[in-house]
Structure 1
Amino acid sequence: MTAALAEKHGTDAPAADDTPRRPPTRRTKRERAFDDVPRWQIYVPLGLYLIFTLIPFYWMLLFAFRPAGSTSLVPWPMTLDHFSKVWNERSFGIFFQNSMIVGVATLVATTLVALSGGYALARFDFRIKKGFMLGLLCSQFIPGALMLVPLFEIFKNLQLINSLGSVIIAETVFQLPLSIILISGFIKNVPVSLEEAAWVDGCGRFRAFCAVVLPLLRPGLIAVGSFAFVHSWNHFLFALMFLSEQDKQTIPVGLNTLIGADSVDLGALAAGGVVAAVPVVIVFAFIQKWLVTGFSAGAVKG
């Protein structure tokens, strides 16, 4: 029609664009209301919250890098004496190694057991399934301190006291309920028809799971594994209760040894805190995208 009008009037009109256009994206009422809010009402509270959150970290870095006896609010000239002291004189190298062993072993054990348990809850129906899920949820309300005495007796009979294995087992057991629930919810989001197609092609259940389902569970596995690692890395109670020898202790217990009865070496304590925080910061820096995706996807169903 546009071309016909152009020919009638003797003018050159642009050709009609037959490219299909996307319909405009619908915006919710909340999103439209957000446009009317002045930006300073958003950024000022966020900035104040950020400052409130970062001040303790800056204070820790200040004492860690500032020379002993200095009262400057800027860590200059910087010194590494406190790090050398805690790493060599206070055996933080051994504490770091023990914490890494506990964290990695807990990550692997929790992920493997939660993967099998979550798959069973997501794909199979059995008589006590609802009761089992209720038990997993209720177990989250039991504080770990109530289980110290029974666990100590069990590990004592198994001759696991003063062994990193006792801490790994305890951390894994207390991480499993939440991990199984998250993995189960994530597996429910994977259509069972994908597995059925693999079964038709001749794959067994295990092979179909490894080839079809497992690659789609990466965000969920990263979320569960990172949560287990960070919790076991920072947990103080189990390591204090089950490990009494210094060469078996972990970083949280090692930090506690830096606090004396009459005085506290703030520089050494801050340096130990930096050493303890570095692995956690690195983990979250690399996996934050998958972490948010995994927790949100695992909470959709279940």
Structure 2
Amino acid sequence: MTAALAEKGALPAPAAAPPPTARGSRRRGLDQGAPRWQIYLPLGLYLLFTLVPFYWMLLFALRPAGSNSLVPWPITGDHFQKVWSERGFGTFFQNSMIVGVASLVMTTAVALAGGYALARFDFRIKQGFMLALLASQFIPGALMLVPLFEIFKNLRMINSLGSVVIAETVFQLPLSIILISGFIKNVPMSLEEQAWVDGCGRFRAFCAVVLPLLRPGLIAVGSFAFVHSWNHFLFALMFLSSQDKQTIPVGLNTLIGADSVDLGALAAGGVVAAVPVVIVFAFIQKWLITGFSAGAVKG
């Protein structure tokens, strides 16, 4: 009956379905008929390119000295014992852990306060302040060595782990504040306003409502702060003079002699330096990806 009415003009004829676009057809073809080798081959090549240096490092660290085998057999732990006991890597590891954790806490705490101010308040120099934060990322860390050294010298903080912690925090704060500000903007202001109506002050509302929602962002910022402090070489080399205060990157540099290099000890030290970072990222990868996704969406 509907078709008859349409033929007589009483009802409009149903619109024809739009033809599929070339982009939609190509996307469906990739989703349905793409060979698996087109996906796994590039991923396999990238994985091989990434893992070969790690395998080479493990090979030198685990095989006996003087061996040319491409397989670490028989496995030996002499290189690890040498770097940990004789070369002082136990002390270097402890110092790096102190610097990394302290930098993580200080960077996250200060960036949280600064990011909240940028996200929730409007003030006259806000745009200029954001521009200054972005511009500071173009300044190499080496240019900060001399002024920071003079400051720490006047404060009598040379050869102190505190000087490295402060320098790392200052160096990482601009990017951390920008990232935290983006995370806070994604939290609706209405949630805080409801807490204010219920009698909470601004600080209490922030701790009860906003802070739990920032967990992925805080983990992302904190992980960057820890890894950067763990791997950074210049600040520790410049501000720490005694061997009992040095960190792992400086300790690795001491394994390279003027005339020869102990490859087994150097590789074992590299494994010691890499293991904590790998463990940290293995446990926080879910939160890290979530934090990056949250920070990438404009609020």
**In 2: Cα distance, 1:144 partner to 1:130 partner:** 24
1:28 CA displacement? 6.6
User: Structure 1 127/268 Cα, relative in aligned 2: closer, same or farther at 3 Å?
Assistant: same
Alpha-carbon displacement from aligned partner over 1:7-34 (angstroms, at most 9, x marks no partner): xxxxxxxxxxxxxxxxxxxx97774243
Corresponding residue of 1:73: 70
Corresponding residue of 1:260: 257
Asked if residue 241 in structure 1 is aligned to residue 241 in structure 2, the reply is no
**In 1: Cα distance, 2:56 partner to 2:85 partner:** 23
Alpha-carbon displacement from aligned partner over 1:213-249 (angstroms, at most 9, x marks no partner): 0000000000000000000000001000111110000
Q: Is the 8 A contact 1:182 1:299 kept in 2?
A: no
Corresponding residue of 1:57: 54
Runs of 5+ unmatched residues, structure 1:
1-26
Which residue identity is paired with 1:120?
Answer: A
User: Structure 1 31/167 Cα, relative in aligned 2: closer, same or farther at 3 Å?
Assistant: farther
Give 4+ residue runs of structure 1 displaced > 2 Å after superposition. 27-34, 299-302
**In 2: Cα distance, 1:246 partner to 1:180 partner:** 34
**In 2: Cα distance, 1:28 partner to 1:274 partner:** 48
Which residue identity is paired with 1:34?
Answer: L
Matches within 5 A, 1:1-302: 31-35=27-31, 37-301=34-298
1:46 CA displacement? 1.2
Which residue identity is paired with 1:169?
Answer: I
**In 1: Cα distance, 2:191 partner to 2:229 partner:** 35
**In 1: Cα distance, 2:228 partner to 2:69 partner:** 34
1:49 CA displacement? 1.2
**In 1: Cα distance, 2:224 partner to 2:62 partner:** 30
**In 1: Cα distance, 2:131 partner to 2:105 partner:** 25
User: Structure 1 132/70 Cα, relative in aligned 2: closer, same or farther at 3 Å?
Assistant: same
Q: Give the TM-score of the pair, scaled to structure 1.
A: 0.89
Q: Is the 8 A contact 1:182 1:295 kept in 2?
A: no
**In 2: Cα distance, 1:53 partner to 1:33 partner:** 30
User: Secondary structure at 2:179's aligned position in 1?
Assistant: helix
**In 2: Cα distance, 1:215 partner to 1:266 partner:** 47
Runs of 5+ unmatched residues, structure 2:
1-22
1:108 CA displacement? 0.2
Between 181-190 and 290-299, the greater mean CA deviation after superposition: 290-299
1:52 CA displacement? 1.0
User: Secondary structure at 1:152's aligned position in 2?
Assistant: helix
1:297 CA displacement? 1.5
**In 2: Cα distance, 1:192 partner to 1:237 partner:** 41
User: Structure 1 222/28 Cα, relative in aligned 2: closer, same or farther at 3 Å?
Assistant: farther
Corresponding residue of 2:12: none
Which residue identity is paired with 1:231?
Answer: H
1:250 CA displacement? 0.2
Q: Give the TM-score of the pair, scaled to structure 2.
A: 0.90
The number of equivalent residue pairs is: 276
Which residue identity is paired with 1:35?
Answer: D
